[in-house]
Amino acid sequence: MASVHSSNEDLDTKEMDDSQGGPYIHKVGVPPKQKLFKEFTNTVKETFFSDDPLRSFKHQPKSRKLVLGMQAIFPILEWGRNYNLSKFRGDLIAGLTIASLCIPQDIGYAKLANLAPQYGLYSSFVPPLIYAVMGSSRDIAIGPVAVVSLLLGTLLRNEIDYTTNPEDYLRLAFTATFFAGITQATLGILRLGFLIDFLSHAAIVGFMGGAAITIALQQLKGFLGIKKFTKKTDIISVLTSVFDSAHHGWNWQTIVIGASFLTFLIVAKYIGKKNKKFFWVPAIAPLISVVLSTFFVYITRADKQGVEIVRHIEKGINPSSVKQIFFTGDYVAKGFKIGVVAGMIALTEAIAIGRTFAAMKDYQLDGNKEMVAMGTMNIFGSFTSCYVATGSFSRSAVNYMAGCQTAVSNIIMSIVVFLTLQFITPLFKYTPNAILAAIIISAVINLIDFQAAILIWKIDKFDFVACMGAFFGVIFASVEIGLLIAVSISFAKILLQVTRPRTALLGKIPSTTVYRNIQQYPEATKVPGVMIVRVDSAIYFSNSNYIKERILRWLADEEEQLKAAYLPNIEFLIVEMSPVTDIDTSGIHALEELHRSLQKRDIQLVLANPGPVVINKLHASHVANLIGEDRIFLTVAEAVSSCSPKLVEEA
Amino acid sequence: MASVHSSNEDLDTKEMDDSQGGPYIHKVGVPPKQKLFKEFTNTVKETFFSDDPLRSFKHQPKSRKLVLGMQAIFPILEWGRNYNLSKFRGDLIAGLTIASLCIPQDIGYAKLANLAPQYGLYSSFVPPLIYAVMGSSRDIAIGPVAVVSLLLGTLLRNEIDYTTNPEDYLRLAFTATFFAGITQATLGILRLGFLIDFLSHAAIVGFMGGAAITIALQQLKGFLGIKKFTKKTDIISVLTSVFDSAHHGWNWQTIVIGASFLTFLIVAKYIGKKNKKFFWVPAIAPLISVVLSTFFVYITRADKQGVEIVRHIEKGINPSSVKQIFFTGDYVAKGFKIGVVAGMIALTEAIAIGRTFAAMKDYQLDGNKEMVAMGTMNIFGSFTSCYVATGSFSRSAVNYMAGCQTAVSNIIMSIVVFLTLQFITPLFKYTPNAILAAIIISAVINLIDFQAAILIWKIDKFDFVACMGAFFGVIFASVEIGLLIAVSISFAKILLQVTRPRTALLGKIPSTTVYRNIQQYPEATKVPGVMIVRVDSAIYFSNSNYIKERILRWLADEEEQLKAAYLPNIEFLIVEMSPVTDIDTSGIHALEELHRSLQKRDIQLVLANPGPVVINKLHASHVANLIGEDRIFLTVAEAVSSCSPKLVEEA
C-alpha cells in the first residue's frame, strides 16, 4: 500500500516512514542535563516569579534600575508623566460619578459591619488615595464593599457583642483591618498571590450570590421599619423575625418611602442597562434618592411617625486609630484570624475586578504588586479609623463606563468624600434608614449572577455543585459556613484531579498515523495484539497506584473481550506518555511494578513519547534499562510499527 | 516533494495528507453526549470503585452472589476451600519463625508505647486471628510495630503522664486503638482508601528512617543501663541525657551483655542477608538471645549488679478491656484524635507491605477491603486489651522468605503467642532489658533505607526535600512534627502541581509531521509566523490564570527574539491541547480572555486536538464558536498546514 504526497512547502508535508522500524525510527530526545542549582532556580522562578517581574530591569544602567524600581512600587510615577488634560476630564467625570454612588453606599455598608456610618465614609477617603499612588489598575474603585462588610460584621460579632461593648468591637475591627492589610501585603511580597486562585470561579459566583441575598434580607429591618430584628443572618431566622413582627412591628410610612425609592432605583438601573449612554442615571440615582427623601422627612417630620433616620454622623475627617489597635492580649489572635479571612476575600474580589478590566482594556496587571498596594492601603486605613476596603464591583463598573483613565478618579472621589465629611455630614441627619436599605438592595442585586450560574451548569456539573454549595451555605447557615463549603469543594476538586486522573484507550484513526481516544473517535480502530493506553496526568504519589491498577484493569477488560471473540491475545501494552509531564519516585516504582506484572503475563511494556523530565528520570532510575531502551519510542505510530511486524510473523 | 511508503500491512502505514487542508482535514471528534445521571455515576464509580470490586458479581444467580459476598468479607472462605497439607507445611514453618521473632519484639515495642510488656503479646494474639479471617494479603505478619508504638506512646504521653496516672494512660491507649480501628474500617467502607496515598513514598522513607533512629536512641536507656532518662525523643535531649549520665549512670555489666548480643544479632542478620537460604538465622537469633541471656542472668544473678531485668509479665491471655474504653468525657476527643493519626500511619505501613508482597507474588489486593479487615481487627483488639496492631515490615519479610502460603501462618503465630502467654511468661522474669534494646535496635535498623533515599535524590529533588524534611523533623523535633512536615510537603507538591503546570514550545522534528518540545529535541524547528504551545495539564481554576499569562509570556519572549532577528511576526498561536484532559468554567474564561488578548494583537488562536471532555465544554460554552470551529484541528500538523499557506500568500 502506498500513498503519494505533494506540496509546495517543506514545512509540513514530509512525513516519517514508520512502517518498518529500523533506520527511520526516531530516538526519544534526552534533554541536556541541567545543573542542580539551575534546575532549582528555574523552579523557584516559575513558581513565584512566573510573570517575570524583573523583565524590564534587564540590561539597564543602575540609575535607570532605581527609577524603574521606584516606578514598580509607585506606578503613579510612571503613568503620571504622561498624564494630560484630556485624561483628567475622563477621570474627573468618573470620579464625581463614583463619589455620588459611594457616599450613600458607604453609610449603608458600615451598618453591615455593625459600625457607625462615618466609618464607611472614612474608608472611602484614605484607602483610595494610597491605592492611587501604589495600585496598577486603572479602573478599580476603592472603598468598603457589601460582602466584605457583611463578612467582617459576622466574624466580629462572633467575638464581641457590639451593643454591649461597642468600644472593643470597634478596636477589634481596626485590629482585623490591620491584619487584613498585613496578610495582603505579605502574600504580595512573598509572591504567594496564587493562593487566592484556590477559590474557584464557580465557588465565588455562588458565594457572592448567597451573600447578596443575605445582605438584601438584612435590609428588611430598615426597609420595613422593624425594631426587634434577629442578629442571625440565615434566611430562616430572618424570615421568622420578619413575619413575627408583621402585625405590630412594621411601619407603613417607612415602607412607603422605601418602596417608592426602591422602585425609582430599579427603574434607573433598568434605564442604564437598556442604553449604555445613560450609565450615569443609575449611578446618581442613589444620591438623588438620599437628597429627596432626606428633604421629605425634614419637611414632614416623618421621623416622629416612627420612620427611623440616620440621626447622627460624626463631622470631620478620619481621626487616628493607631492606639486603638490591639497589639497585645487575647484579641490579637482573634483579630488576626478575622483579618486573614476578610483580607483574603477582599483580595479575591479586588483581583477579580482588576483582571476583568485589565483584560477589557488589554493592559497587564501584576497580581502580587496589586496585593502589596491593597495591603499597604489597609494597613494605613487601620491607622486612620478605616475598616477593610477593597475594589467594589458596582462602582468599578460605573467608573469604567464613566470613562475613567487612571487611578486619578479615585483621588477625585476621595476629595469629594473629604468635602462631605468636612461640611455635609450634618445634613444626613434626617436621611431615612429605609433609603439606605433600598440603595443596598439595589446595589447587591447585581451580585446575583444567574447567567454565570447557568453557564457553569452547562460547562461543568461539579463546578455547579461548588457554586450551589457555597450559595446555600451562605443563605441557610452563615457567610463563614458558605465560605468554608466553597473552599472545601474547591479543594476536593483539586484532590480528585490529582488522585483520579483520566486514562484512555487509543485507536488508530483510519488512513492516518494518528492515535486517538476511541471514545471520542468511534471510527478509530484497535491494533490486534496491541493495547494502547494514554495516561493523562503527571504520575505522582497521589495517583501512581491508581494509574497502575487502572491500566491493569483496562488490560483485564480487553482480554476478556478478546477471549470472548476468539481474537489473539494482547502481546504489547503501549503507554502513551505525552501528557505525563512529570513522574516522581512513587511513579517510577509504579512503572516498575507494572512492568513486572506484565512480564508475568508475557506482555511487553512499551513507552511512547516520554517528555524531557520523564525520560531523564527513567534513565536516572534505570527503569529505562529495565523496560529496554529499544522499547521507548518517539510516537505511538512508531511503537506500533515496531510491535506489529512480530505479531505478523508469529501469527 | 513526495514520499512513497510501502508496507504489507494496513495497520500503520496509511498517512494523512495534511498539507493542503480541505477534504483531508480530519474533524475533531465530538463524543456522544452522556446523560447527566450516567456521567455522574461514572465519575462516582471511577473515584470510589476504581477497582471495580463487583466485577465477579456480574451475571451470577442470587445464591452465588451471597456466597461471593460472604467470600468478599471473609476471604478465608475462598482460599480455605483449596487449602491443603503442602500449603500448611509452608505456613507452619513460617508461623513458627515469625512467632519466635515477634515474642521478644512485642515485649520491647510495648515499652515504646509506655505500656507493660504483656500488652505487646496480647496484640500479637487477637488481631492476627481476626486478620486471618478477613484479610486478603497472604504474606503480611500482623502485630505491634515499632513506629506505630513510638507514635502512639508519644501522642498518649502528651495527654497523660504514664508514671503518675498509669490507669488512665492505659484506658486512653485502648480508646485510641478503638478509634484507630473505627477510622480504618470507615475509610474502607466509604472507599476513601485513596486518602492514604497522600503521604508520598519519599515522605514515608524519611519518616521511617527518622523514626528508626529515634527508636534506636531510645534504646540507649536499656542498652547502657541508664536510670534517669529524658522523656523527650529528639536527638539533642536524648544525647544530652546519655552523656550527662556517662560518669555515674552507665552500668558496665549491662553494656557488656547488650553489646555482645547486639553483635550476635547483627552477625546473624549479615548471614541471612548474604545467603537467602539462611533467612532463619536472623529470624530466630532474637529468641536465642533472650533464652541465653535470661539463663545467664538467672545463673549469675547479674540483676543484683544493676542489670535491669523485665521482672514481671502478667500470665494468662488477654483480659477484656471493653469497660476501660472512654466513651464519655474529655478523653473521648483526645482518644479520637490520637486514634485517627495512629490508625492512618498503621494503615499506610500495612498497605505498603501488602502491596509490595502482592506485586511480588502477582495477586490483587483490594486496599479498601484490607482497611476494613485492619479496622475490625483493631476494634476487637481494643476490646481485648490490645493496642494498635498492623503489618510489620521485618516480620512480613521473614514470613515471606519462610515460605508462607496463606494467612494461616498468622494463626500459627497467634497460637504460639497464646501458649507463651499461658505458660512461659514467668520465665521472662530474668530477661535483661538490654537484650530487648539490642533486639529493637537490630530490628529498626532495617527501616533506614539508604538505597531508597539515594534513588529519591537521583530521581526527584523535591521528593528528596520531603524525605529529608520528615527525617530531620522526626529526629530533631518529634514524630508528630516529622509527620506534619511529611504531610505538609506532600500537599505542597500537589498544590504546586495544580497551580504551576508545565507549558512547552513545540517545534517540528525534521522530516516528520511530529511536533515536540524544542527543549527536549533541539533539532526541532519552529514554523515561521506560527507559535505552538503545549499546555501540560487540565485547565482548572487553580491554574487557568497562570496558563493564560504564561502563554502570553511565551509570546512576548518570542516576539522580542523575532524582532531582534528581523523575522516575520507571529500570526498564529496554536495551542496543543492533547494533555488538557479537562477544563472548568475558569479555564473556559481564561481561553476566552486569551482569544481576546490575541485578537487585539492580530494573532489568531488555533486549537489542536482537544479531548472529549474539552471539546464538549467548548461547544457548551460557545467558545468553540468564538474561536471558530474551523480553527480547531485534530493534530498540530493539520493546524500548521492550515496556517502556513496564508503566510506564504501574505509574504
Tell me the three state secondary structure of residue A309.
strand
For residue A593, list chain B residues with Cβ-Cβ distance below 8 A.
Answer: 359
Q: ipTM value, please give it.
A: 0.81
Query: Which cell goes with A277?
Result: 449612554
Tell me the three state secondary structure of residue B608.
strand
- Residue B593 carries which side chain, given as an amino acid letter? E
Is residue A14 predicted with pLDDT exceeding 60? no
Is residue A111 predicted with pLDDT exceeding 70? yes
CB within 8 Å: A31 and B644: no
CB within 8 Å: A600 and B194: no
Nearest to A455 among B536, B538, B585 (CB): B585
Residue B419 has a pLDDT of 94
Distance between CA atoms of residues B188 and B180, nearest Å: 12
CB within 8 Å: A459 and B621: yes
CB burial class (10 A; 0-12, 13-18, 19+) of residue A531? buried
For residue A30, list chain B residues with Cβ-Cβ distance below 8 A.
Answer: 520
Rounded to two decimals, the pTM is 0.79
Which distant-in-sequence residues (6+ apart) come within 8 Å of B379 by Cβ?
A: B178, B181, B182, B185
For residue A547, give the nearest of A517, A586, A516 by alpha carbon. Answer: A586
Distance between CA atoms of residues B521 and B288, nearest Å: 62
The distance of A257 to chain B (nearest Cα, Å) reads: 42
Query: Which cell goes with B13?
Result: 502505514
- Residue B287 carries which side chain, given as an amino acid letter? L
Q: What percent of chain A has pLDDT over 90?
A: 41
CB within 8 Å: B637 and A12: yes
CB within 8 Å: B540 and A494: yes
Reported as a single tens digit per residue, the pLDDT across B234-254 is: 999 999 988 888 877 788 888
Which residue on chain B is closest to A493 by alpha carbon? Answer: B540
Higher local confidence (pLDDT), A197 or B285: B285
Average pLDDT, chain A: 86
Which residue on chain B is closest to A541 by alpha carbon? Answer: B200
Q: How far is CA A399 from CA A265, A475, A638, in A?
A: 18, 30, 59
Residue B160 has a pLDDT of 93
Residue B387 has a pLDDT of 96
SS (H, E, C) A404-437: CCCCHHHHHHHHHHHHHHHHHHHHHHHCEHHHHH
Distance between CA atoms of residues A129 and A415, nearest Å: 9
Higher local confidence (pLDDT), B647 or A487: A487
Reported as a single tens digit per residue, the pLDDT across B402-445 is: 889 999 999 999 999 999 999 988 888 899 999 999 999 998 88
Is residue A17 predicted with pLDDT exceeding 50? no
Is residue A31 predicted with pLDDT exceeding 80? no
Choice among A57-71, A314-328, B234-248 with the minimum mean pLDDT: A57-71
Nearest to B536 among A46, A510, A579 (CB): A579
| Range B50-75 average pLDDT | 80
Choice among A60-69, B284-293, B327-336, B369-378 with the minimum mean pLDDT: A60-69
Nearest to B200 among A509, A541, A635 (CB): A541
For residue A514, list chain B residues with Cβ-Cβ distance below 8 A.
Answer: 16, 26, 634-635
Choice among A97-111, A379-393, B234-248, B402-416 with the minimum mean pLDDT: B234-248
Please report which confidence band the pLDDT of residue A460 belongs to, taking 50, 70 and 90 as the band edges. Answer: confident
Containing H/E element for A605? strand A604-608
Nearest to A5 among B17, B50, B460 (CB): B17
Q: Is B505 left (phi over 0), alpha (psi -120 to 50) or beta?
A: beta
DSSP A59: T
For residue A553, list chain B residues with Cβ-Cβ distance below 8 A.
Answer: 50-52
The distance of A555 to chain B (nearest Cα, Å) reads: 13
Distance between CA atoms of residues B145 and B352, nearest Å: 14
For residue B542, list chain A residues with Cβ-Cβ distance below 8 A.
Answer: 197-198, 200, 490, 494
CB within 8 Å: A40 and B497: no
Nearest to A5 among B2, B495, B612 (CB): B2
Residue A8 has a pLDDT of 38
The distance of A542 to chain B (nearest Cα, Å) reads: 5
CB within 8 Å: A516 and B637: no
For residue A16, list chain B residues with Cβ-Cβ distance below 8 A.
Answer: 511-514
Which distant-in-sequence residues (6+ apart) come within 8 Å of B54 by Cβ?
A: none
Which residue on chain A is closest to B458 by alpha carbon? Answer: A620
Which residue on chain A is closest to B457 by alpha carbon? Answer: A585
C-alpha distance across the termini of chain A, in Å = 20
Reported as a single tens digit per residue, the pLDDT across A164-191 is: 999 999 999 999 999 999 999 999 998 8
Contact between residue B582 and residue B538 where contact means Cβ atoms under 8 Å apart: yes
Is residue A378 predicted with pLDDT exceeding 60? yes
Nearest to B197 among A50, A501, A545 (CB): A545
Inter-axis angle of helices A146-159 and A479-499, nearest 10: 110
What is the location of CATH 3.30.750.24 in chain A? Answer: 500-650
Residue B467 has a pLDDT of 92
Nearest to A640 among B12, B199, B541 (CB): B12
Nearest to A26 among B493, B499, B512 (CB): B512
Is residue A211 predicted with pLDDT exceeding 80? yes
The distance of B307 to chain A (nearest Cα, Å) reads: 46
CB within 8 Å: A540 and B6: no
The distance of A400 to chain B (nearest Cα, Å) reads: 18
For residue B187, list chain A residues with Cβ-Cβ distance below 8 A.
Answer: none
CATH number of the domain located at residue range(s) B500-650 in this protein: 3.30.750.24
Residue A195 has a pLDDT of 78
**Secondary structure (DSSP) of A324-393:** GS--SSHHHHHHHHHHHHHHHHHHHHHHHHHHHHHHHHT----HHHHHHHHHHHHHHHHHTT----EE-H
| Range B156-164 average pLDDT | 91
Phi, psi of B530 (to 5 degrees): -125, 135
Query: Which cell goes with B556?
Result: 512576548
For residue B630, give the nearest of B18, B16, B22 by alpha carbon. Answer: B22
Containing H/E element for A606? strand A604-608
Residue B247 has a pLDDT of 79
The distance of B193 to chain A (nearest Cα, Å) reads: 11
Higher local confidence (pLDDT), A424 or B38: A424
Kindly report the number of other CB atoms within 10 A of residue A106's CB atom: 25
Please report which confidence band the pLDDT of residue A646 belongs to, taking 50, 70 and 90 as the band edges. Answer: low
For testing the chain A interface, which of B44, B459, B549 should be mutated: the one with the most A CBs within 10 Å? B459
Residue A5 has a pLDDT of 41
Distance between CA atoms of residues B268 and B401, nearest Å: 15
Which residue on chain A is closest to B598 by alpha carbon? Answer: A362
Distance between CA atoms of residues A339 and A335, nearest Å: 6
Distance between CA atoms of residues A153 and A162, nearest Å: 10
Tell me what percent of chain A is helix, strand and coil, each rounded to the nearest 5: 65, 5, 30
| Range A306-312 average pLDDT | 85
| Range A414-430 average pLDDT | 91
Contact between residue B253 and residue B302 where contact means Cβ atoms under 8 Å apart: yes
CB within 8 Å: A512 and B458: no
Nearest to A520 among B51, B198, B611 (CB): B611
Distance between CA atoms of residues B108 and B144, nearest Å: 10
Residue A15 has a pLDDT of 39
CB burial class (10 A; 0-12, 13-18, 19+) of residue B316? exposed
Distance between CA atoms of residues A557 and A559, nearest Å: 6
Tell me the three state secondary structure of residue B507.
strand
Reported as a single tens digit per residue, the pLDDT across B331-372 is: 999 999 999 999 999 998 898 888 888 878 878 788 888 999
Reported as a single tens digit per residue, the pLDDT across A593-645 is: 899 889 888 999 999 989 888 998 898 888 889 998 889 998 898 888 888 76
The distance of B641 to chain A (nearest Cα, Å) reads: 6
Q: Please report how many Cα atoms fall inside a 13 Å half-sphere around the Cα of residue A638, on the Cβ side.
A: 23
> CA-CA-CA-CA torsion for A178, A184, A185, A186, nearest 10 degrees?
100
Which residue on chain A is closest to B593 by alpha carbon? Answer: A359
Please report which confidence band the pLDDT of residue B526 belongs to, taking 50, 70 and 90 as the band edges. Answer: confident
CB within 8 Å: A40 and B581: no
Distance between CA atoms of residues B152 and B110, nearest Å: 10
Residue B279 has a pLDDT of 84
Distance between CA atoms of residues A231 and A239, nearest Å: 12
| Range A58-74 average pLDDT | 83
Please report which confidence band the pLDDT of residue B145 belongs to, taking 50, 70 and 90 as the band edges. Answer: very high
Which distant-in-sequence residues (6+ apart) come within 8 Å of A515 by Cβ?
A: A506, A507, A508, A509, A524, A532, A576, A636, A637, A640
C-alpha distance across the termini of chain B, in Å = 21
| Range A295-316 average pLDDT | 87
For residue A58, give the nearest of B556, B339, B357 by alpha carbon. Answer: B556
CB within 8 Å: A12 and B537: no
Nearest to A589 among B13, B201, B641 (CB): B201
Residue B25 has a pLDDT of 61
CB within 8 Å: A3 and B17: yes
CB within 8 Å: A50 and B498: no
Nearest to A498 among B498, B635, B637 (CB): B498
A281-294 burial by CB neighbour count: b if 16+ within 10 A, else e? bbbbbbbbbbeebb
Which residue on chain B is closest to A48 by alpha carbon? Answer: B500
Choice among A27-41, B218-232, B270-284, B557-571 with the minimum mean pLDDT: A27-41
Which residues are registered as beta bridge partners of B583? B539
For residue A15, list chain B residues with Cβ-Cβ distance below 8 A.
Answer: 3, 15, 511-513
Distance between CA atoms of residues B512 and B526, nearest Å: 13
Average pLDDT, chain B: 86
E-strand spans in B63-161?
Answer: 142-143
Q: What percent of chain B has pLDDT over 90?
A: 41
DSSP B533: E
Phi, psi of A611 (to 5 degrees): -75, 180
For residue B354, give the nearest of B460, B246, B196, B202 by alpha carbon. Answer: B196
For residue A7, list chain B residues with Cβ-Cβ distance below 8 A.
Answer: 1, 19-20
CB within 8 Å: A12 and B644: yes
| Range A27-32 average pLDDT | 72
Reported as a single tens digit per residue, the pLDDT across B576-613 is: 998 888 888 889 989 998 998 898 889 999 999 898 88
Please report which confidence band the pLDDT of residue B34 belongs to, taking 50, 70 and 90 as the band edges. Answer: low
| Range A508-525 average pLDDT | 86
